[in-house]
């Protein structure tokens, strides 16, 4: 079996005096897609934040790539995160945002033009992101994560705002990423998306 990219064991997180995660375990290897399901408040986003090095667990071990996750440049070269909507650059168009993502990472997975097409943003290239619809902006966020090279994709409800057709297309895009050896860990409420991309489903129970 290939070395694990993500290994979380016995993770506990307390926030505001409440136990949010308790004894949580999760593993993911190259080529795998893991979908984290669970009711609102179960702790899916909190677990993703732990994997991204943005939340330190109260106890337990989290190992991502070569060690504990750290919010540092070397880590983010290998890891792409899509969570809350990013702050869009003033004055830069959709196409220029894609070109910027390519320019700061060596060796893109797609050209900016190919990404426009893959993420159904043809005809939107010259617009500023804030003039797009909610779902179109989510497609751009996903495009900026998938256009660049990475070994691990962390996605928090990637289906947010997407129509049914694009959710199906997203399943194909994630499958292709995993087929190239990438690892995906996503929190999702969309079981169809998880099934469409062949994800292993992990259900989180609320800690209390
Ligand atoms: N900064 C914080 N301070 C206190 N409690 C917090 C904080 N952030 C999150 N929580 C609590 O932690 C719990 C888990 O939140 P989290 O966002 O991880 O859940 P989730 O499973 O992603 O939910 P959803 O499906 O609604 O997105 C919730 O009960 C939430 O109220």
ipTM of the complex: 0.96
Nearest CA to ligand 1 atom 16: 43
Residue 208 lies in a domain: no
Q: Are 79 and 65 in contact (CB under 8 A)?
A: yes
Residue 90 lies in a domain: yes
Cα 159 to middle of ligand 1, angstroms: 18
> How many structural domains are present in the chain?
1
Cα 17 to middle of ligand 1, angstroms: 12
Per residue in 33-68, pLDDT (tens digit) is 999 999 999 999 999 999 999 999 999 999 999 899
CATH number of the structural domain spanning residue 14? 3.40.50.300
Q: Are 186 and 155 in contact (CB under 8 A)?
A: yes
Per residue in 120-158, pLDDT (tens digit) is 999 999 999 999 999 999 999 999 999 999 999 999 999
pLDDT of residue 2: 61
Cα 46 to middle of ligand 1, angstroms: 6
- From the list 67, 121, 122, 129, the residue with the least C-alpha distance to 93 is 129
Per residue in 6-30, pLDDT (tens digit) is 999 999 999 999 999 999 999 999 9
For residue 208, the surrounding DSSP H or E stretch is none
Instruction: Write out residues with Cβ below 6 Å of ligand 1.
Output: 15-16, 18, 20, 38, 40-46, 187
Per residue in 154-206, pLDDT (tens digit) is 999 999 999 999 999 999 999 999 999 999 999 999 999 999 999 999 999 88
Cα 135 to middle of ligand 1, angstroms: 23
Can you give the residue range of the structural domain that contains 23?
Answer: 6-203
Cα separation values, 118 from 43, 140, 144, 147, 198, Å:
31, 10, 12, 10, 20
Residue 1 lies in a domain: no
pTM: 0.95
């Amino acid at each position: 079996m290939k070395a694990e990219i993500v290994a979380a064991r016995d993770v506990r997180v307390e926030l505001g005096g409440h136990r949010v995660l308790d004894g949580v375990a999760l593993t993911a290897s190259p080529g795998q897609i893991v979908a984290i399901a669970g009711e609102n408040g179960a702790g899916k986003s909190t677990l993703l934040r732990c994997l991204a090095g943005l939340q330190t667990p109260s106890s337990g071990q989290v190992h991502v790539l070569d060690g504990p996750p750290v919010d540092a440049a070397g880590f983010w070269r290998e890891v792409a995160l899509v969570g809350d909507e990013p702050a869009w650059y003033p004055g830069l168009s959709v196409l220029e945002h894609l070109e910027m993502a390519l320019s700061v990472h060596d060796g893109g997975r797609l050209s900016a033009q190919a990404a426009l097409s893959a993420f159904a943003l043809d005809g939107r290239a010259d617009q500023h992101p804030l003039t797009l619809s909610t779902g179109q902006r989510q497609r751009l966020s996903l495009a900026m994560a998938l256009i660049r090279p990475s070994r691990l994709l962390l996605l928090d409800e990637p289906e947010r705002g997407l129509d049914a057709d694009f959710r199906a297309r997203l399943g194909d895009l994630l499958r292709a990423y995993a087929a190239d050896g990438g690892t995906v860990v996503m929190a999702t409420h969309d079981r169809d998306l998880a099934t469409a991309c062949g994800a292993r489903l992990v259900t989180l129970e609320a800690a209390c």
